[in-house]
A = this chain, B = another copy of it.
């Protein structure tokens, strides 16, 4: 985050896509006083949009849109899906730093997959295109990386409780509409099943590489490995959509190479940047989605030893999937690159 009034370089910025994530990016750029000289808003068609009390002139995206743009954030969801495939590398050709929230290039060896608090050093070898990890992976890696540095992760098993905002506006509306129609027959349109007063273990399409796994589960496995730099890290994931609007929760079972008590883990997490520990079970204090929504930090609670195997802990991790899980992390990547002198502004 930048302080107002300090003389520093400024940047021409573009945000591509104005769905749930794109609009949050625009709000966060203003909230954090991002050193933008100009913010261009790009989408599929021209229009005016009011976002967070500001009027934005939305322009249609073309390769030429990136002329003079120093940093482009691709929101990567809903209507903007595919935009980075079409315009990402051409923008890099024009000298733009592309930060992509989409999943198309996350595993591409040319592309660093970065959470600034976890693996900022991966940015040094960037080739102009940086990927933002998946929402549920970001909060998981945020919670585990500080513990990994201390005790070495041996295996991770995660079960998720993911909100509908990860799917976008249509899903938010579907949950609202089905909820209002309580007791009446309603049709699932966005999702394969009704989501109000229900839940289902399907996020993303089915994959061939991991038989029986949906894509969100495969993303968790592969992105965790890339971010932590452990290509064989044993990870198992079950990803579940729940009738919550904002914030993902995760029940995490983690085994370490070395002994690590719940108390020490708590102490480590308490002083780690971007994390908040809320862990007083006697007072019913642990993070819950409704209270974490809108917050920047990833929250951790229910830190307890699991004696069913050696060196195991259980954790409960909750993060705002639209902020730290998407828009905020993308903006933080740009901030980190500026700090490291990796983006030339003027």
Query: Using a CB–CB distance below 8 Å, which chain A residues touch chain B?
Result: 155-157, 159, 161, 175-176, 179-180, 182, 192-194, 197-202, 206, 210-214, 234-236, 238, 240, 242-245, 249, 251, 253, 262, 281-282, 284, 286, 288-291, 301-309, 312, 314, 316
Contacts and interface: CB of A to CB of B under 8 A. Distances in A.
Given A179-B182, A288-B198, A159 B236 contact: no
Given A179-B179, A211-B305, A202 B161 contact: no
A108 B80 CA distance: 60
Given A206-B282, A251-B240, A303 B212 contact: yes
A262 to B, nearest CB: 7
A175 B197 CA distance: 10
B262 A212 contact: yes
Given A193-B284, A262-B212, A302 B157 contact: no
Contacts of A304: 210-213
Given A193-B290, A194-B290, 6 more contacts: A201-B286, A201-B301, A202-B281, A210-B304, A234-B308, A238-B314
A288 B236 contact: no
**A contact patch SS:** mixed
A306 B236 contact: yes
A244 B199 contact: yes
Given A212-B262, A288-B193, A244 B161 contact: no
Residue in A176, A251, A302 with the greatest tally of chain B CB atoms within 10 Å: A251
A301 B206 CA distance: 14
Contact of A289 (B199, B202, B249, B289): B199
Contacts of A194: 290
A124 B23 CA distance: 65
Given A288-B200, A309-B155, A281 B242 contact: no
A133 B238 CA distance: 26
A316 B238 contact: yes
Contacts of A301: 201
A201 B212 CA distance: 27
20 contacts: A155-B309, A157-B157, A176-B182, A180-B182, A193-B288, A193-B290, A197-B245, A198-B244, A198-B288, A200-B286, A201-B249, A201-B251, A201-B286, A202-B284, A211-B304, A213-B304, A234-B307, A236-B308, A238-B251, A243-B243
Contacts of A192: 284
A206 to B, nearest CB: 5
Contacts of A157: 157, 253, 306, 308
A143 to B, nearest CB: 14
A159 to B, nearest CB: 4
